[in-house]
Structure 1
Amino acid sequence: MAASVIETCHVACSANRAPNVVSWGRGGLIAFGSCNSVCLYDPQEGRVVGLLNGHTGRVNAVRWVHRTENAPECHLVSGGSDSRLILWEAQHGKFIQSVECKGHTAAVCAVDAVYTEDSKVLVASSASDSTVRLWLCSDDKDAECLHIVSFAGFMMDVSLALLPGSKVPVLACGGDDCKVHLYAQANGQLQKVMMLQGHEDWVRGVEWTSAGAELLLASCSQDSLIRVWRLCAKSGTDTRAEDDHTIIKMKEDVFEVKDRGITSEFAASLETVLAGHENWVYGVHWHPPVYKGGELQQPLCLLSASMDKTMIIWAPEEASGVWVEQVRVGEVGGNTLGFYGCQMSPDGAMIVAHAFQGALHLWCKDHHNEGEWRPGVVVSGHFDVVQDLSWDPEGEFILTVGSDQTTRLFTPWKKQNNKEITWHEISRPQIHGYDMQCLAMVGRFQFVSGADEKVLRVFQAPRNFVENFATISGASKEKLLTTSDAASLPEGASTPALGLSNKAVFQGGLVPKNNKEEEQFNSISDQYQESYFHPLILTGTVKLRHHLFPKKLFNL
């Protein structure tokens, strides 16, 4: 008898609470750290397609190693709280651990990498030991630490690129001294060539991009501002132009780089300052290069994410060249914190942010309405330890509880005109104030949960949830309502204004009572009606995950 084949149907996970933990590759895969693993998520398929296990501590930084021809990446770099860096390499459709870099004495918080001219991988890393290290990884599974730069404080982010018109690597480091430090590797030495000043608080993110014969560096800070710097090679004509005082231009800082007996001059200047966020800006990301007319071109488009719970797409106007805000998306209201970082899809049609609580937020460009973006469905999961789980007696969904104080329900989503079935989180029946510890199903749509305060609570699904569950899972609504004792099911659940628990709402409580006695108010509070439950019926496909996830669909 042949052995049964076991395959992974669904991985429920969230991103770690770190700014540099998400990276979107040119091949379409989103790599992000979740606990001690690196997850490879395919937004087109809507599921996690791979897990890379190698770290023994939390993964804090993940970066794809982009190729110059904009092809799908073959290498991925990750750094963790175990003080290690791991270079992953694609072989036969899977990523395996290729090289391990050891040397840091504290948690790695930022990584970046580029290819050298001899196809080796040059990796830069920053750690909590106040050092930035430069590594050279070769094909023989060997990693050499080339340089160690020590700082008095911490470098929050690093970014690598090649200087214009040369193969000389340039490293940008942004740290808690409010400055951006530039280093160039020439003749086997890592030299500090410049220090960019202007930010008034910690620099949280830096990223290079190539724009023709120039480099653009974006830096973001806790001062809520984004600065874009321009780095270009100087020529003899540029030197003569400096003597012409009739030309109005930004002040340039010039530095020299000597490599292989050739001295080259480069100039750095401030391109623009972008003000639009109202809180710390944690991440900036350039639009990936795209092919137009058979040539690889770099769109001048910048994405930023902030703790004000918004992402902004910036671009210069065609007429004036002034950088302005093009698109703003994000969360409104609630008691959650903002975004830790952002990434953009290879074609720029989708953007993703990861939040403080680990949730991924995806927006897709609406091709029918120009300038509009729509929220998309993305993978989700607990952002702390999963303590218990329980299957539905019929095996159609699964309930989980975790130390993140939530109870979550996962079920397959059967889309119309699509044979492929994917699992998704469709409800959070319980959002608690204590860490959840245990769970047990006592019926088809009933469960008991316990938390740290040692109180057991019994929850029952209302009719509105059962109807929506049937729409999503493709199950028979009539069969579910019959087996669920439909006569005793409440219509829904609502939370009183000064209450903490969901209360059942039955058929008679769907609409407010209207009689003459209620028109005679006894107090000021009587003038304002209690909020009533309004059924949410899903038709066809799930509209937005934001409409469904926050709803407390179970009653106590």
Structure 2
Amino acid sequence: MAAPVMETCHIACSTNRTPKVVSWSRGGILAFGTCNSVALYDPQERKIVDLLNGHTSRVNAVKWIHREDCAPESHLVSGASDNQIIVWEAQNGKFIQTVQCKGHTSPVCAVDGIYVEDSKILVASSASDSTVRLWLCNRAKEAECLHTLSFGSCFMMDVSLALLPGSRVPILACGGDDSRVHLYVQSSGQLQKAMQLQGHEDWVRGVAWASLGGELLLASCSQDCLIRVWRLCAKSGTDAHAGDDHTIIKMKEDVFEVKDKDVSSVFAVALETVLAGHENWVYGVHWQPPFYKGGKLQQPLSLLSASMDKTMILWAPEEGSGVWVEQVRVGEVGGNTLGFYGCQMSPDGSMIVAHAFHGALHLWCKDQDEEGEWRPGVVISGHFNEVQDLSWDPEGEFILSVGSDQTTRLFTPWKKQDSKQATWHEITRPQIHGYDMQCLAMVGRFQFVSGADEKVLRVFQAPRNFVENFANISGTSKEKLLTSSDSDNLPEGASTPALGLSNKAVFQGDLTPKNTGEKDQFSSVSDQYQESYFHPLIMTEPPPEDHLLQNTLWPEVQKLYGHGFEMFCLASDSTRTVVASACKASKAEHAAILLWSTATWRQLQSLSCHSLTVTQMAFSPDARLLLAVSRDRTWSLWRRDLPTLGGPDLFQVKLPWWEGLPKLTPETAKHCAD
């Protein structure tokens, strides 16, 4: 009999919480850093196609090395907190590690790369050791550090490489915390400083080059909430802007000279425009990728920006006047999350994506039916910190997980109508807590118990809106999920009050605004806080991040008190009638296992045996035995003593009882099993 073949069905992950960690390839693959790995995500298939493992610490920066012919990329560069840069190369459909660049003494925060002569790769990297380094990677898969730029007490937040117009001379742009953009060129084999571009009044967070044939455009964004676009062109006897009929005011030009193979060229840099529209720090800028049309390479004049004000703006010059204006603005409204760290645009310009402080990807797609309209798209999601526990639901249709990012998330397969293959997605976030989550146990079809870094266990029940949306997305019949009695008693959803940790149920009556007859008058102080942030929506596809944060909470139905320290592990039996819990402990009195009835949520018994934290528990399939392991280097086995059939009174008194077999040795454990 052939051995079963296992393959990856789904990988749930999020981006790292750094600005330069996402890059979109011309081949349509989105690369982003997640923990110590680089994930390759296909937005069309909606799944992770590969994980690149090579770094030993958090990946902080990822960048595709774009080809001049706009073909799909074959190289990817990444930088991490292990102070290293890795160049990945596509071989036989897989990306493998080919070059390692070692030299930085602190975490790498930004990288970029271009192809130079003889198919060599020039890589620029910036790190928190206040240096920027240029590396040359050759065909022998060796890396040589060509130049090291030291900025003293300043840090360069971003780097961008390009080739000067009409030459193969690289030009490097660095944006730093000195509010300036530094330009460097390779002249006579040496990296020389060309000039400093001044104008920003706060840290420069991002820089990006775009090639317009005989000119270069450089976009820089800053914490002063502004974006500046600079034009670089070759200087000749005629004015570089003489052909621009719309030019009214001639901007001041800065000139620098470059010598390449005994040929001297002069280039001029002038401020093209200042874009003001964001209301908070601008963290990222990205030019729409170039494309071939009619056999000619064209670079669209379209610039995407992302800000901490939770918006992305698409900028472009107006026809006729040439004035840069805001074309499209998308983003999130409300919530208690921070804004966007960076942005990217798809090769055809039909999709834009931003990544946020909490690791979520925010995708918008251009509506083909309504021109100029953008709508949120379905994208992958996952925990942005350690996943601590997970559990299947009793029917095996979805997975619940908890993590140190203080959230509980539910994942289930979704099969789109025009797709033959189902993909897994997060469809609800039942719990968004104020403590790191540690453990989880399912106790019903749509009910679970969770424990966090607090002394309380919390029980959650799915609301009606989730059950309806789960049926729509998973293709399950609503009648199968709900009985008429259940439907009548379920709340519509849940919301969390300000400064609260408990999800409060929201019923149908709570969604109807109350008219007291007197404007701005309340019958009691508590009425001031009756407004619910929950708004029921009927979903036929996985919800976007803003909906997950606001409208998918489950109401909390019970709190379980009894432990003296932070919760550590949970377990439920196969009959879903008993839940066992344990907390952190340094003494025997706190290391006891507590048993709870899922019918009444009362404590049944305290099982004392261990002297340190019980780290894991498991019930036997027949629910008759409970096994526990502890940090005191012992394990214990507990047997359930079923009640006799002596009568209802005896049954009520003798709730399911447990008889301990403390500190069994392997020999006695084997004897007991026999």
Q: CA deviation at 1:367?
A: 2.0
Segment drifting more, 203-212 vs 246-255: 246-255
- SS of the residue corresponding to residue 468 of structure 1 reads helix
Counterpart contact for 1:109–1:126, Cα < 8 Å: yes
Tell me the equivalent position of 1:290: 291
Q: Kindly provide the amino acid, as one letter, of the partner of residue 477 in structure 2.
A: S
Decide which moves more: 189-198 or 470-479.
Answer: 470-479
Partner residue, 2:218: 217
Q: CA 1:505 to 1:18, structure 2 compared with 1: closer, same or farther past 3 Å?
A: closer
Structure 1 counterpart of 2:22, which letter? V
Distance of 2:515 and 2:248 partners within structure 1: 79
Following the alignment from structure 2 to structure 1, what is the Cα–Cα distance between the partners of residues 379 and 501? 29
Query: Residues 487-538 of structure 1: CA distance to partner in whole angstroms, max 9, x if unpaired?
Result: 785133334756642344567x56769999999x983658879447988363
Question: Where does structure 1 lack aligned partners over 5 or more consecutive residues?
Answer: none
Matches within 5 A, 1:436-475: 436-475=437-476
CA distance 1:517–1:317, shift in 2 (3 Å)? closer
SS in 1 for 2:476: coil
Q: Partner of 1:376 in structure 2?
A: 377
Instruction: Give per-residue Cα distances to partners, 1:184-204, cap 9 Å, x unaligned.
Output: 112221111111111111111
Go from structure 1 to structure 2 and tell me whether the alpha carbon gap of 1:403 and 1:240 turns closer, same or farther (over 3 Å shift): closer
Task: Report if the CA contact (8 A) 1:180-1:203 is conserved.
Answer: yes
Greater shift, 1-10 or 26-35, is seen at 1-10
The answer to whether 1:154 aligns with 2:155 is yes
When normalised by structure 1's length, the TM-score is: 0.93
After superposition, the CA RMSD in angstroms is 2.7
Which string of whole-angstrom CA distances, capped at 9 and with x for unpartnered residues, describes residues 83-113 of structure 1? 0000000011110001000000000000000
Answer yes or no: is the 8 Å Cα contact 2:313–2:328 preserved in 1: yes
Does 1 or 2 have the higher relative contact order (CA < 8 Å, sep 6+)? 1
Question: In structure 1, what is the Cα distance between the partners aligned to 2:540 and 2:406?
Answer: 32
Partner of 2:250, secondary structure, is coil
Residue 31 of structure 2 contacts residue 40 of structure 2 at CA under 8 Å; is this kept in 1? yes
Alignment gaps of 5+ in structure 2 = 557-674
2-structure distance, mates of 1:240, 1:10: 53
Distance 1:444 1:518, change over 3 A: farther
Identity among equivalent pairs (%)? 74
Residues 57 and 81, structure 1, Cα contact 8 Å, conserved in 2: yes
Contact map agreement 1:116 1:167 (CA 8 A) in 2: yes
In the alignment, the residues of structure 2 paired with residue 283 and residue 382 of structure 1 have an alpha-carbon distance, to the nearest angstrom, of: 23
Q: Judging changes above 3 Å, is the alpha-carbon distance between structure 1 residues 219 and 517 closer, same or farther for their aligned structure 2 residues?
A: closer
Distance 1:463 1:412 in 2: 20
**2: CA distance, partners of 1:524 / 1:240:** 68
CA deviation after TM superposition for structure 1 residue 476, in Å: 2.5
Q: Deviations over 1:221-245 (max 9, x none)?
A: 111111111111112344999xxxx
Corresponding residue of 2:575 = none
Deviation at 1:334, TM superposition (A): 1.4
8 Å CA contact 1:492–1:554 kept in 2: the answer is no
Q: SS where residue 87 of structure 1 aligns? A: strand
- Residue aligning to 2:122: 122
Question: What is the CA distance between 1:8 and its match in structure 2?
Answer: 1.0
Change in Cα spacing, 1:532 to 1:431, as seen in structure 2 (3 Å) is closer
Residue aligning to 2:618: none
Distance in 2 (CA, whole Å) between partners of 1:545 and 1:283 is 20
**Contact 2:332/2:546 (CA < 8 Å) preserved in 1?**
no
- In the alignment, the residues of structure 2 paired with residue 514 and residue 138 of structure 1 have an alpha-carbon distance, to the nearest angstrom, of 71
Pairing 1:489-528 to 2, within 5 Å after superposition: 490-495=490-495, 500-504=501-505, 509=509, 523=523
Q: 1:534 to 1:435 in 2, by over 3 A?
A: closer
Larger-Rg structure: 2
Aligned to 2:340: 339
Q: Give the match's secondary structure for 2:472.
A: helix
Q: Distance in 2 between matches of 1:149 and 1:63?
A: 21
Is 545-554 or 62-71 further displaced after alignment? Answer: 545-554
How far apart, CA to CA, are the structure 2 residues paired with 1:69 and 1:207?
A: 19
SS in 2 for 1:471: helix
Give the SS at the match of 1:550: helix
Secondary structure of the equivalent of 2:482?
A: helix
**For residues 439 and 524 of structure 1, do their structure 2 counterparts lie closer, same or farther at Cα, with a shift above 3 Å needed?**
closer
Partner SS, residue 550 of structure 2: coil
Matched, 1:208 2:209: yes
1:18 corresponds to which letter in structure 2?
Answer: T
Query: Structure 1 511/10 Cα, relative in aligned 2: closer, same or farther at 3 Å?
Result: closer
- 1:167–1:364 Cα change, 3 Å: same
1:138-287 matched pairs, under 5 angstroms = 138-152=138-152, 153-238=154-239, 249-287=250-288
Aligned equivalents of 1:323, 1:517: Cα separation in 2: 50
Match of 2:652 in 1: none
User: What is the rounded CA distance, in whole Å, between the counterparts of 1:62 and 1:515 in structure 2?
Assistant: 54
- Show the counterpart of 1:104: 104
Q: Distance in 1 between matches of 2:443 and 2:308?
A: 41
Question: What is the distance in 2 between the residues matched to 1:358 and 1:543?
Answer: 16
CA distance in 1, matches of 2:239, 2:265: 13
Q: Is the Cα contact below 8 Å between 2:216 and 2:231 reproduced in 1? A: yes
Q: Which residue of 2 aligns with 1:28?
A: 28
- Pick which of 542-551 and 209-218 moved more: 542-551
Relative distance call for 1:291 and 1:451 in structure 2 (3 A) is same
* Cα distance between partner residues in 1 of 2:50 and 2:453: 34
Q: For residue 435 of structure 2, what is the aligned residue in structure 1?
A: 434
Aligned-pair CA distance for 1:442: 1.4
Alignment-mate amino acid for residue 122 of structure 1: L
Distance of 2:529 and 2:205 partners within structure 1: 46
2:41 pairs with 1:41: yes
Deviation at 1:268, TM superposition (A): 0.8
CA contact (8 A) 1:250 1:269 kept: yes
Query: Could you say which residue in structure 1 is the equivalent of 2:559?
Result: none
Residues 135, 517 of structure 1: alpha-carbon distance in 2 compared, 3 angstrom cutoff: closer
Report the alpha carbon displacement of residue 457 of structure 1 after superposing the two structures with TM. 1.0
The structure-2 alpha-carbon separation of the partners of 1:506 and 1:370, relative to structure 1 and needing over 3 Å to count, comes to closer
Q: Number of aligned residue pairs: give it.
A: 549
CA distance 1:2–1:220, shift in 2 (3 Å): same
CA separation in 2, counterparts of 1:15 and 1:74?
22
Pair 1:31–1:553, CA change in 2 (3 A): same
Deviations 1:320-379 (A, max 9, x none): 111111111111111111111110000111111111111111111112222211111111
Show the counterpart of 2:77: 77
Alpha-carbon offset, residue 6 of structure 1 = 1.1
Which residue in 1 is equivalent to 2:326?
A: 325
Matched, 1:15 2:8: no
Tell me the secondary structure at the aligned position of residue 457 of structure 1: strand
Asked whether the 8 Å contact 1:493–1:502 carries over to 2, the reply is: no
